[in-house]
Structures are given as C-alpha cells and as structure tokens.
Structure 1
C-alpha cells in the first residue's frame, strides 16, 4: 500500500480513538484494535462518518488473552505486508486483583505484556516498512506513574498487587521494554519511543475505588482525549523526531524518565521473564532484517 499504515490498540475510546482520528486526518490507513467486535464496529462507523474516510480496518481481540493476540496478529500479517506505525495505547487500571489464563495480573498483562508480545509478533511488517521507507515506528503510551514504582521487580507480573501499584509497575516495565527494544532494533530503522500523555479523562477511571471516585470529581482539570493524543501523534508522524529512538516524552517534549527506568539488571530480568510468560522462544526471535 502506498498509504502508510498505523495500528492503534485501545482504539474504541479515549486517547486511542482520538489518536486514530488524528492519523486519519494525516492521511494514514488506520487499523483499530478494540476489545470487542461491537466496539470495533461502532468506532469504525463513527470515524468513517466524521472523517469521511474509508481508510479503516478493525481488529477485535482482548489483550488479556495472549492466544487471541497471536491469532489477531497472524491475521494482520496475512493482510498487511507492511505496518509503518504500531501504537501500543491500550491501558487498564484494575481495582481488584484478577489474572488471565497464564496467571498474569491483568493490569500488567494489558499495559505491558500485550505490547511486548504484539511488538514481537508484528516485527516482520514493521521491518519491511522500515526497509521500504527508511523508518517504522513503535509508540508505547506510558505514564509518569512509572516514577512511583521504585520497588519494581519482575515478580509483579504474576503475584504483584492490583490497583495503582500494579499500574505503576506496568508502566515502569513499559519504559524498560522501550529502552531495550530500541537498543535491539536500532540498526533496522524501526524506532521505539514511550510517551506520557498527561492525566486524561478516559474510561480508565471508571468503576469502584477511592482513586476513581476522586479523579471523577476533578475530571474538569484533566486533559481531554484530544490533548492526550497529541504526544502519540507526534511520535507517530512528526518528521522532527526521525531517527530518535529509546526516548521518553511528556506530550511532545522529550524528557528523562525515572532512575529506575535505567536499571539494567531489572530490565534483563524483566525481558527474560516476559519471553517466558508470553511463550516466545529467544532462539526464534531476530531483531534484524534477516528475518524478513
């Protein structure tokens, strides 16, 4: 396809939907990754109507279900030879502890392990795009909440707490992953960056719990989804950051993540444990153009 292709997870509402809209307005063909078929259909219909664009496809898969993620990624690779942009946007904040089929706490599964798995599964079309155009981009939507997870350990993936603690740990893991994947992919032209979109009024604050109640009470002070999407859109499309990789942004401003984000020992332990939990064999994974 001559039109650049961008995949956005968590695209049915909030930052994801606003990001998808912005990509359409910039001339991208957009793949909406939503949790359910109904939400994917509704979101696509709204965007087609509002933007007068048919440059949309949909994927319906629950990111807590790694088998479903694999199935969806396989279908995408059959349909798209190249993917220019992958935006790992989907995020949750589970108020009570729940685990997926692999026994992983669901906040950690959606916010970190699903991006880890999906980025690996879609390496081939990303590498082809980089080979053809000079660059492809992975954008991980993180949070400055990663600065609070000073006691991060890889054990949090399977037996950590739920709620805000799990959320902070998952976002720190995402920054560590961004840095390491960027290092591995640097020679290929596939860049990997992480962005804090600000505190945004989205569905993540729905549900019970004191934190959700407090945030809803002050939601008029929060960023709109459109404002939250400015950072991901900048990292996905701007020529100003061509070649920039392994960086952390607050909106459109490059900044420095927490000290914990540079912990090489934690990053190495996290990477190895992540490969196990998503059932990837390190011997089968290559981070260069030889794989395509």
Structure 2
C-alpha cells in the first residue's frame, strides 16, 4: 500500500533541494493536473525534473492506489542499471532511454534521489552566456579520491595544479572538495577548477580517464574537521561519484570562515 505521508515528505524534500541548490521553484503547467510540478532551468527553461501523482497500476504495480513519482533525465547506461533496482522504472510518459521514473514513497532514499536531480540538471543545462553555470553562480562539488591510487598531498606538494578526472559538467571557477575514501573517509582538500574538458587518455586497470580538468589547491583540512559522520548530518551518506555539495553544508562552512573559527583547518 502507498505511504501517502512518506510521499508528501519526499515530495517536499525534493522541492526544497531544488530550491536550496538551484533556486528553482516548481511551476504547474497543466490545469487538469494541479499536483503535477515541473522543475525548470531559469535560463533555458528546460525541464530537469517532473513530479507527478499517478495510479500505481500505470507503472505495473499491483494495486489501485495512487503514488507520487519523480521523472529525471539520466545517462542511458546508468539509467538501465538503476531500472533493475527497486523503486526505479522506465520514465512515465517520457523518453525511456533518456529519462527514468523514481518512486517517492520511501522505496528510494532521498540520499539516492538528490544526486539524480544533480545529474538531470547537468544533462539539461545549456551553455548559453553563463558558460553552463547555474543561475546561482559557480557550483561546489564533493568528489571522491582513493588514496590507494593517487597521493593527492604529494601531487599538490610537487605541483601548484594537478589534473583530475572530469565526469560531470563542471566548469572553470567551480570549487571541488576532495573526499578521501577509506580508510580516511573525510574531506581533506578544497580546490578551484582552473581548466576543463582537457583531452586526456589514461588507463591502468583501476582508473580510466578520457577527459580531465585542472584543479588548484585552495585549502586543506584535518581529517577530523569534515569526516563522513559530519557529512551524513547534511545528507551525504556516501561519495561514490561527483555530487553537488548540499546547501546546508556550504552555509555551515561559510559561517565557519566568516567567524574565523579555523578549527583544525589550515588555509594554504
């Protein structure tokens, strides 16, 4: 049976995330369906999310209740993998190869939904005059770094800028926070992106790179300052691929800097 209370909570969480990260409020283009909500880019007006309430049987589910869903644009290969899991379906009333439907009934946790919104936003953004940036300006990213494969500290000790694998639509001027995976499990470095879309081919069995960006070190942190436990309080339960920094964490760091409470951090 559908959990309507949980659905309303997740719907609200999705809308709040869109506002906090992209300053986007939903519009309601269909008079016949006032509960349908569309999330659009401010500059190109393209959709990056659609929330609808549909009958569960429309998705092939086995009862007559209705359910809230979210449609997002997705990389075709990634979307195909997602659709094999619970809570994901071919896009309802949209291109099945480019969009997916996500249940908003609690089957899929919001921590998994938010990165999909980020991906959809990136895939539907245009270059335009802003160079592809959001209307809110440069973005802050959290990017995983495996210390088993590359010594980031040594790299920055030897070079002012280093090359890094580029996946998402990251732009010059964006900030990236490097999250060191196990055994460290903490953000240790803040960097600024100085160049993007650099053709670069590398493969060693662990890492495969076809496109790179240059990043310059701005700030370093002690492992106790931004550990995984603190990130979880802001909805970041894991960092397996580049993801946008939650607005709440960004605001907390701004307050810390403004008050000059450097804690364990070391400005470089």
Structure 2 length as normaliser, TM-score?
A: 0.28
Give the structure with higher Rg (CA).
Answer: 2
Q: Which has the higher strand share?
A: 2
Q: Which has the higher helix share?
A: 1
Structure 1 length as normaliser, TM-score?
A: 0.26
